[in-house]
Amino acid sequence: MVDRLKGHPWKTTSVGDETDSICPRCDDETIHRVVAMKEKKIHLVICSRCNSQHRYRPSLATMTRKVPLPSERQAKVLKKVESARTPRRQLSSKEWQALKEVAGEMEPLPYDPTASYSEKQIVSHPTFGLGFVRMVIDKSKIEVVFEYEVKVLAMNRPRSQ
């Protein structure tokens, strides 16, 4: 009976269940066992790879889903940006001008190295200002076009405790 329910959406997670979480020690997304729940949410987990116990960090897939993606109207403007895209890591004034147009349409997300970003998102960086995620390099790096330079920034970095 228990086995039949396993994996079904209506089955709520409880202590002892397995779940995907970001492990700060492994610096990776690994399978974790739930150790404690708080207000019906997963609170503490143990990493199945390194056995360290830490707070639950939603998996990359979960975090990505939470980041708002551009609407259809915004996507049209974003196409302009793409057409002005430079082939190499060089700044094109055309690209930045197109970006500024999009920036007016979208709410920039504050840049946070522990957050997860997708291509075409607008970020606001405390030093470099408004930036545009041109490319997701891998699960921990993004290439961002700022007004005066193109930078490679970190993402999905484990939050230090």
DSSP 34: E
Q: Which segment (17-25, 113-121, 127-135, 136-144) binds Zn ion by CB under 5 A?
A: 17-25
Q: Please report, for residues 80, 92, 111, 130, the alpha-carbon distance to residue 145 in angstroms, rounded to integers and kept in the order given.
A: 15, 9, 13, 8
Residue 35 is a binding residue for Zn ion (CB under 5 A) = no
22 binds Zn ion (CB under 5 A): no
Interaction between residue 18 and Zn ion (CB under 5 A): no
159: its two tokens? 């939050």
Assess 50 for contact with Zn ion (CB under 5 A).
yes
| CA separation for the pair 143, 118 (Å, rounded) | 10
CB closer to Zn ion out of 50 and 137: 50
Sheet holding 150-154, edge to edge: 109-110, 122-125, 129-138, 141-145, 150-154
Residue at token pair 């997300």: 109
Q: How far is the CB of 33 from Zn ion (least distance, A)?
A: 11
27 binds Zn ion (CB under 5 A): no
Asked if 38 interacts with Zn ion (CB under 5 A), we say no
Q: Interface with Zn ion includes 53 (CB under 5 A)?
A: no
Q: Which residues bind Zn ion (CB under 5 A)?
A: 23, 25-26, 47, 49-50
